[in-house]
Amino acid sequence: MKAFKILAPGGFTSVQDKGRFGYQQMGVPVSGVLDSFAFKVANILVGNTENKAVLEITVMGPSLEITKTMDIALTGAKMGMTLNDKPIKQWESIRVNPGDNLNVSQIQSGCRAYLAVTGGINVLQIMGSYSTYVSGKIGGFKGRPLKKDDIIETNDAQTLSKQRSIPKDMIPHYPPNATIRTIIGPQDDYFDKGLTALFEKEYMVTAKADRMGYRLKGNCVPIKENMPKSIVSEPSMPGSIQIPPDEQPIVLLVEQTVGGYAKIATVISTDLSKVAQTTPGDTIKFERINLKTAHDLCLEEMDKIIKIKELF
């Protein structure tokens, strides 16, 4: 059923779910949301299962004309949001009705927000996922970001019996100076002084930051003199920190499948969202942790999602 019309698409708004897995060997990246916690909570707040398709909103939000009664929730980056010109809150469910106008404005902190709707966005499933892979022009809404006058449909589902929200202490913050936890490797043997340099000072997020990866600027990370400046291209995963010949780190994200530069360290899964919630000019400070700590942090986030579900 038709749910809303795009009056203005915002900066970069696309349909995403948790991602498209199992096709990297064919050159098809995972894609999917960049902040998995905010994505899951958005769906929970409107009564959906965790992997219903949502809108991922980047920097500037869209304006929508509502054509169906449904519940919505906006999570992730802090953005101003109004319904019929009246301010409404994020991180809670809101009932909207035909004829309403929803406007999501520019970011105040963070970079990406997630708009979930009752039943989830109804688009064709490609390779087991609803996610948009823009470079490949597949998935989501016609394989592209949303445009003015697009008509978006949602799956049929019952609206909530009462409004949902979560406690303030469960809402993450997105500071402009993020600490990002990593595990060294897989090619840490290519580095000696470089390992010290990576963790020594902050890096600035450059303008070359998108869903493929974030190029950073700061301390040079030298490769050992006896090692080549590149490696035979091999599969890469979201979170890999590559060091190209200019010795400035690149954090790979969700639209990359292979890489030909040595990977000095890997961002842990729970901190990928912190990277994706930074914007050009923000800073990142890498912190080295061990595998057990990474597992503990992952379990901690999973437990937080379980606790949020139990609220309803």
Secondary structure, 3-state, 233-261? CEECCCCEEECCCCCCCEEECCCCCEECC
As given in the structure block, the two tokens for residue 83 are: 């319904």
Tens of each residue's pLDDT in the chain, 312 residues? 799 999 999 999 999 999 999 998 888 999 999 999 999 999 999 999 989 999 999 999 999 999 999 999 999 999 999 999 999 999 999 999 999 999 999 999 999 999 999 999 999 999 999 999 999 999 999 999 999 999 999 999 999 999 999 999 999 999 999 999 999 999 999 999 999 999 999 999 999 999 999 999 999 999 998 888 888 888 888 999 999 999 999 999 999 888 889 999 999 999 999 999 999 999 999 999 999 999 999 999 999 999 999 999
pLDDT confidence of residue 202? 97
Beta strand 240-242 with 250-252 is antiparallel
Q: List the Cα angle 244/110/221 in 5-degree steps.
A: 20
**pLDDT of amino acid 256:** 87
In eight-state DSSP terms, residue 60 is: B
Angle separating helix axes 291-310 and 36-45, nearest 10 degrees: 10
Enter the tokens of residue 172: 């993450």
Secondary structure (3-state) at 194: helix
According to CATH, what is the number of the domain 177-308? 2.40.100.10
Longest CA pairwise span in the chain (Å):
66
Q: How far is CA 198 from the centre of its chain?
A: 24
The pair of structure tokens assigned to 279 is 């914007």
**Domain residues of the chain, as ranges?**
2-170, 177-308
- pLDDT attached to residue 236: 86
Helices (H), the chain: 36-45, 193-200, 272-276, 291-310
d(CA 129, CA 126): 5
Alpha carbons 11 and 4: distance in angstroms, whole number: 18
Measured in whole angstroms, the distance separating CA 282 from the mean position of its chain's CA atoms is 17
Would you state the structure tokens that stand for residue 142, as one six-digit string?
A: 């016609």
- What's the confidence (pLDDT) of residue 98? 96
- What angle is formed at CA 77 by the lines to CA 121 and CA 139, rounded to 5 degrees? 30
Q: What is the CA radius of gyration of the chain?
A: 20
Helix %, strand %, coil % of the chain (to 5)? 20, 35, 45
Q: Say how many CA atoms lie within 13 Å of 144 toward its Cβ.
A: 6
CB atoms closer than 10 angstroms to residue 197: 19
